[in-house]
A and B are shown apart, each in its own frame.
Chain A
Amino acid sequence: MEPILRIENLSKSFTLHNLKKQIKAVDAINFEMQEGEFVGITGKSGSGKSTILKSIYRTYVINEGNIWYLSKKFGRINLAEASEREIVYLRKQEIGYVSQFLNVMPRTTARELVEQAIVEMGNTNFLAEREAEKMLSHFELDEELWDSYPATFSGGEKLRLNIARAMVKRPRLLLLDEPTASLDHASKRKVRELMEQLMREGTTMLGIFHDLEFMKNLCHREYNMNAGHFASVR
């Protein structure tokens, strides 16, 4: 079967003009993922884990290599060279990204935030309301918080909201950048349940986790990174 994601020779370095310096983040990475697979990336801080995810999401512009993604709409597409319009479409419809930081719109309530994610995909407001409530209650976000602004939420609450927003779209490919980094056990369990559910529904996931225990019983495969390279595969 054709892989849903194939990374060929991915290299990324940052040119810092003011320091006249080049920093190599990731060097000649190769791997592929089949549809429905869950692949984990581990490694020290600064080893290049997030760079891979951000390159796939096109937050970073890579220097070399190809990122072949099998899209429902476009077929096989190189995310490194796709037009910005295509990327905007894919982000809305097919590829999700969850980070440990909540990037919220100011003055948007938790409920609106999740609803917008669904409306963005072209769904009706009615469906959005229903799905958003389902997702918010799944994450046991206090009902009192649904209509307040996330700026005042605790770290764990923000994170749960962030994950809810990405997961409610049921993306084809979900990129997870340490989504459980600051969660307590109960919240981690919730995230885990939802990931398992997404796996059952066939979502492909590529994730970075610090919590090795959490990752071990979930991932099909695991890459360990060191200084921009894959050091080991399990």
Chain B
Amino acid sequence: MNEQDTPILSINNLSKQFGPGCAHCRTGEADRLIKNYCPKCGAVYACQQISFDLYPGEVFGIVGESGSGKSTLMQCLYFDQEVSGGEAYIRTYKNGKVNLFGESSQQKRYIRNHQMGKVYQNPILGLRMGFSSIGNIAEKLIAAGSRDVGSMEARGRELLEHVNIPSRRMKEPPKNFSGGMQQRVQIAKALSNNPPILLLDEVTTGLDLSVQASVLDLIKQLQRELNISIIIVSHDLGVIRMLADRTMVMLDGKVIEYGLTDQILEDPQHRYTQQLVHSLL
């Protein structure tokens, strides 16, 4: 098998629950929950047995309504949340033989800093709003082991130019910027350590159309130039159609459908996916 045919990231049976659960909801019976919620004890099963592979250079889309578990899944992948169960393997980390979720928090930090980048819907989560933009990038570079100020500044400048932040504004903090610019600084920061995997969580939600377009163009361009593997979560089917080759549909914490993006949109199989596609304007 050649490199392109081996997944860069494999997720097996990832589960995340909030609350300890009770005798009622631990039985595993299909109708024990209302949506993803146990009516007896109030436990929420946010992600249930989620498995998928991400291949080198591909864009993998995740769609689903609010509360379906998309963002929780992304948080688990970036170790923002502790998983309740499941495994994850990255090919470029210890030859893909070690379950990432079982690693120490120090190792997790290493993985985060060297193997992944993440862009949040809300820039406050991904950036330090009061630091300079270039300082934000340096922060991630320092975390990844850089110590040379000159080279960090050069790298920061290069990245910010790449995402069209004018060099005269590089020293300004992101809080001075518009939403679209903040999102672009986040993307530059996420890419600063050349990660093989980029996680994008609703990156265009809440931006106006022309700004949304510039962010999407940037993502498309980066994917083509850097051949980076991207997981993109969105409830906007248009964004998914434009970017993703393959798509997974989530509902109530479960995956209800996988497929090629055009197949999901033109021949959806599941009742909910049909409803979602038919709601498209």
Contact = CB atoms under 8 A, between A and B. Distances in A.
Interface string A2-39: 00000000000011111000000000000000000000
Interface in B227-281: 242, 245-246, 258-260, 262-263, 266-267, 269-271, 274-275, 278
Contacts of B262: 59
A59 B266 contact: yes
Given A18-B274, A88-B260, A59 B267 contact: yes
A60 B275 CA distance: 17
Given A84-B258, A84-B259, A85-B5, A61 B217 contact: no
A84 B246 contact: yes
A166 to B, nearest CB: 15
Given A18-B274, A85-B5, A107-B213, A59 B263 contact: yes
B63 to A, nearest CB: 15
A165 B17 CA distance: 47
A60 B274 contact: no
A221 interface: no
Contacts of B224: 116, 119
Contacts of B263: 58-61
Interface residues of A, number: 19
Contacts, number: 48
Contact of B213 (A18, A58, A61, A106): A106
B89 interface: no
Contacts of A218: none
A107 B267 CA distance: 27
A59 B242 contact: no
Nearest to A86: B5
B266 A54 contact: yes
A18 B278 contact: yes
A60 B278 contact: no
B260 A18 contact: no
A86 to B, nearest CB: 9
A215 to B, nearest CB: 25
Contacts of A116: 224
Interface in B149-193: none
Contacts of A58: 260, 263
Contact of B260 (A14, A15, A16, A59): A59
Contacts of B58: 88
A105 interface: yes
B83 to A, nearest CB: 25
Given A84-B246, A84-B258, A16 B267 contact: no
A87 interface: yes
Nearest to B238: A106
Contact of B274 (A16, A54, A85, A107): A16
B267 A60 contact: yes
A17 B274 contact: yes
B55 interface: yes
Interface in A193-216: none
Interface in A107-136: 107, 116, 119
B1 to A, nearest CB: 12
Interface in A78-93: 84-85, 87-88
Given A16-B274, A18-B275, A87 B260 contact: yes
A84 to B, nearest CB: 5
Nearest to B271: A17
A84 B260 contact: yes
A88 B274 contact: no
Contact of A106 (B242, B274, B275): B242
Given A17-B275, A18-B278, A105-B242, 4 more contacts: A15-B269, A58-B260, A60-B266, A60-B267
Interface of B: 5, 55, 58, 213, 217, 220, 224, 242, 245-246, 258-260, 262-263, 266-267, 269-271, 274-275, 278
30 contacts: A14-B267, A16-B274, A17-B274, A17-B275, A18-B271, A18-B274, A18-B275, A54-B266, A54-B267, A58-B260, A59-B260, A59-B262, A59-B263, A59-B266, A59-B267, A60-B266, A61-B259, A84-B246, A84-B258, A84-B259, A84-B260, A85-B5, A85-B55, A85-B246, A87-B260, A88-B58, A88-B246, A105-B220, A105-B242, A107-B217
Interface pairs A-B: 6 shortest CB-CB: A17-B271, A60-B267, A59-B262, A84-B246, A59-B266, A88-B245
